Structure 1
Amino acid sequence: MLRLVLLIILFLASLLAIFNAPAYYLWLLAILVTEFCWIFIAITLLILISGFWVSKYKIGGSVVGVLALLLFVSPLVRASMVAGHIKSEMQAALGNGKPLVYPNNREPFSLTQLFQKANISSSQSLTYIHYADTALTLDYYPARATGKRPCLVVIHGGSWSSGDSKQLPELNSYLSNIGYQVASVNYRLAPKYKAPATMEDVQNALNYLKLHADSLQIDTSQFVLLGRSAGAQIALLAAYATPHTGIKAVIDFYGPADMVWGYSLPANPLVMDSRLVMERYLGGTYKQVPQAYAASSPIEYVNRQTVPTLIIHGGNDVLVAYEHSTRLNAKLQQNNISHYWLKLPWATHGFDYNLNGPGGQLSTYAVETFLRKVAP
């Protein structure tokens, strides 16, 4: 009986590999199910094998267990499918008739890499701006390369009200190890500080990096912005609406690109009260401050001069709707902007928490390929 119960629980968890999580803690579980799926595969296999020593409910339990096993394996199968065409898709989207330079030290997706541990490099905390009531810092990861190098400015997520520059340091470390300077910045958080305070913070961070470019070994003609979730909205807006000299491109990890549309169709309240999140950041409801929503929508600023863009989004995202990236992709296409959208059908919000998971591997591969194109 215990075997059957355990396999039923695993089967219910495995459904998160194909269906949207209906509640906040199930969303967190969905990240584990899809990006650490090998753990669930191993547990399911062990319980299935135990069927040799039990007789009661043996067949029923085995059927449920096999179904769970297939669902746990599905992210690996789908990641392999994406990996099979990522090179040709990126070449078609970004090549402009010239062959792209792909990472020479990794495949888009590898089963063996699932079991590796991502390295974290040391960083230096630098204060980039003093305001009357606060000071802001950034974490600087120096490139393992000589001479002035392109600089990636990373903007963390957290619903504009939480998170910090320490968030997900694995990708920062990886990119610094392959020759990019990386600056992960803190910004003023809602609800105490509201938009457009974040834009001012990003501009001040860029000004600081330019001012200290010689000591930090930064090529000031090659900045790339990267943001996750709320940080992606900030990164996109900074790159599109307030272009700073030297910004070459922007990388959008599951960001809300259309704040007006996003407010009109909120997330599942059992996962997140997305309207309240936006109201705290923008200073009111859409009815109260419609101009703030429009002004904070990166999609509104896309034009023929918009910088190249990499979009990365999971199809099972329950915090930031997939439709945001669909709309941004269409607007970029209309303006003939060089861009690529990496679609991860099984992935949920925050999938890149595990850099070596299926989504983490593919997104890292896409980021590195994109950077070698826009800021070699």
Structure 2
Amino acid sequence: MVRFILIFLLFLASLLAVFPAPTYHLWILAILVTEFSYIFIVVLLIVFLLKSRNIWYKKVGNLFALIALMLFLSPVFRAERIASKLPGQLAATFGNRASNLEVPHLKTPFSFFSMFSGIDGKAVPFQTFTYKTYPGISLSLDFYPVKTASKKPCVIVVHGGSWSGGDDKQLPELNSYLSRRGYQVASIDYRLAPEYQNPSPVEDVKSAISYLKANAEKLQIDTNNFVLLGRSAGAQIALLAAYTLKNEGIKGVISYYGPADMIWGYAVPSNPLVLNSRQVMEDYLGGTYQQVPVRYAASSPILQVDAQSVPTLLIHGKNDVLVSYQHSVRLNAKLNQLKVKHFFLSLPWATHGCDYNLNGPSGQLATYTVERFLNVVTFVK
């Protein structure tokens, strides 16, 4: 009986590899199930080996165990399928600069064995600088330097946190990884809601760029080669900044599961058991859509993008329960319409925060795509 119950609970957990999480805590479990699936597989195999005296429970438990095993493995199978097509798709979109020959150190988009290898390299020590001071608040950035004698492109990372939380220490592994690959990385803080509302964070991105430009000699930054990278709420800020800040040397923008259409997002809120998305947006924009429709329009990247906008990389999981996958679908369609160079990495099994584990299926595919995108948009002829 105990064996059956444990197997059944693991079976229920495995469903999160294919279905959206219905509550906040199950969303967190979904990240573990999809990006650390090998842990659940090992536990499942251990439980499977337990003895059961009841034949009926044993047979039914074995069936649930088999189904759970296939579901736990499904992100790996699907990642392999995406990986087989990804290099060709990137080359077709961006040309030879996105090919493996140009970025030879990572030859495959996904490797099953890389899931067990740990983070690629040690963490890069960062320096913290204050880039802007307002009355009562100072904004800082963490700078991950490249050891170089020449100026390098700079990736500006904008953290997530529903516009009201988070900081520049969020998910630092990618910052170190990109620094080791030759990109200066600046992970920035910005003013948070509800005390500060849009467009304050975009103004902070502009201030961060100004600071980095003013200190370009010391920090060895190529001021004509900035790329904005944001996650979740930070992706909305990064997209909006990239599409509205002109002549700032921004060459591209990367959105990890970011809100792109604030008007549509308010009309179609997320599951309240996961996130009260309308309240989050009201805190950020100063009211409901009916009260401040102009602010919702002004904060929607999909309404600010035009034919001259910078190249864009969208990364989003179909099972995202905090920021709907449709945000990226809609922006992708708009970019297609405007013929803006872009790529949409769609991850069928993934949920919000899917890049938490750089070596998970989502993390490997996303990092591979980000590298090739950076290699294209920061290339100096």
1:315-369 deviation per Cα after TM superposition (whole angstroms, max 9, x unaligned): 1000000110011001111111110000100000001010110000000000001
Matching residue of 2:44: 44
Q: Secondary structure at the match of 1:50?
A: coil
> Any idea what the Cα deviations from partners look like across 1:93-143, whole Å, max 9, x if unmatched?
222xx4534332222101111112224221100000111121100000001
- Quick one: distance in 2 between partners of 1:127 and 1:287? 38
Residues 134, 99 of structure 1: CA spacing in aligned structure 2 closer, same or farther, 3 A cutoff?
A: closer
The whole-number CA distance in structure 2 between the counterparts of 1:279 and 1:67 is 42
**Partner in structure 2 of residue 329 of structure 1:** 332
Equivalent AA in structure 2 for residue 109 of structure 1: F
> What percent of counterpart residues are identical?
57
Do the aligned partners of 1:226 and 1:250 also contact (CA within 8 Å) in 2? Answer: yes
Q: Alignment partner of 1:72: what SS?
A: helix
Secondary structure (helix, strand or coil) at the match of 1:190 reads coil
1:100 paired with 2:98, answer yes
Cα-Cα RMSD: 1.1
Give runs of aligned pairs for residues 49-198 of structure 1, distance below 5 A.
Answer: 49-51=49-51, 54-56=53-55, 57-95=57-95, 98=96, 100-102=98-100, 103-106=103-106, 107-118=108-119, 119-198=122-201
CA contact (8 A) 1:158 1:229 kept: yes
Map Cα deviations across residues 142-162 of structure 1 (whole Å, 9 max, x no partner): 014431000000000000000
Change (3 A) 1:128 1:99: closer
CA 1:300/1:324 → structure 2, altered by over 3 Å: closer, same or farther? Answer: same
Measured after TM superposition, the shift of residue 206 of structure 1 is 0.3
Bigger Cα displacement from structure 2, 14-23 vs 140-149: 140-149
What secondary structure, in the 3-state scheme, does the structure 1 residue paired with 2:282 have?
A: helix
- Work out the CA distance in 2 between the residues paired with 1:46 and 1:163: 38
Aligned equivalent of 1:207, options 207, 210, 219: 210
- Whether contact under 8 Å (2:97, 2:375) holds in the other structure is no
| Shift in Å, 1:244 | 4.2
Is the CA contact (8 Å cut-off) linking 1:249 and 1:308 kept in structure 2?
yes
CA distance in 2 between counterparts of 1:244 and 1:352 reads 31
**Deviation of 1:55 (Å):** 4.7
Greater Cα offset, 140-149 or 27-36: 140-149
Structure 1: where are the runs of 5+ without partners? Answer: none
**Residues 146 and 50 of structure 1: CA distance in aligned 2, closer, same or farther (over 3 Å):** farther
CA distance in 2, matches of 1:132, 1:366: 40
Give me the whole-angstrom Cα distance separating, in 2, the residues matched to 1:84 and 1:55.
45
Residues 219/366 of structure 1: CA separation in 2 closer, same or farther (3 Å cut): same
| C-alpha deviation, 1:8, in angstroms | 0.3
Q: Report the TM-score when normalising by structure 1.
A: 0.97
> Match of 2:303, SS?
helix
Whether contact under 8 Å (1:101, 1:373) holds in the other structure is no
Report if the CA contact (8 A) 1:151-1:182 is conserved. Answer: yes
Is this contact kept in 2: 1:144–1:178, CA < 8 A? no
Contact 2:164–2:194 at 8 Å: present in 1 too? yes
Q: Judging changes above 3 Å, is the alpha-carbon distance between structure 1 residues 355 and 71 closer, same or farther for their aligned structure 2 residues? A: same
How far apart, CA to CA, are the structure 2 residues paired with 1:33 and 1:146?
43
Alignment of 1:288-307 (within 5 A): 288-307=291-310
SS in 1 for 2:49: helix
**Counterpart check, 1:237 vs 2:235:** no
Q: Secondary structure at the match of 1:235?
A: helix
Q: Would the aligned equivalents of 1:226 and 1:252 in 2 still touch at CA under 8 Å?
A: yes
- Cα displacement (A) at 1:92: 1.5
Task: Tell me if the contact between 1:83 and 1:109 (Cα under 8 Å) persists in the aligned partners.
Answer: yes
Q: Which residue of 1 aligns with 2:370?
A: 367
How many Å apart are 1:42 and its aligned residue?
Answer: 0.9
Where 1:182 maps in the other structure, the secondary structure is strand
Could you say if the C-alpha distance between residues 244 and 187 of structure 1 is closer, same or farther in structure 2, counting changes exceeding 3 Å?
farther
Q: Deviations over 1:44-65 (max 9, x none)?
A: 11211234x6554211111111
Report the CA distance shift for 1:227/1:244 in structure 2 as closer, same or farther (over 3 A): farther
Structure 2 unmatched runs, 5+:
none
The question of whether the paired residues in 1 share the 8 Å contact of 2:156 and 2:185 is answered with yes
Aligned to 2:287: 284
1:215-364 paired onto structure 2 within 5 Å: 215-364=218-367
Change (3 A) 1:147 1:101: farther
* 122-131 or 42-51, larger mean C-alpha shift: 42-51
Letter aligned with residue 363 of structure 1: A
CA contact (8 A) 1:228 1:255 kept: yes
Mapped partners of 2:228, 2:366: distance in 1: 15
Count of residues paired in the alignment:
373
Which amino acid in 1 is paired with 2:211? Answer: Y
TM-score relative to the length of structure 2? 0.96
Q: Runs of at least 4 residues of structure 1 off by over 4 A?
A: 53-56
Task: Give the secondary-structure state (helix, strand or coil) at the position aligned to 1:153.
Answer: strand
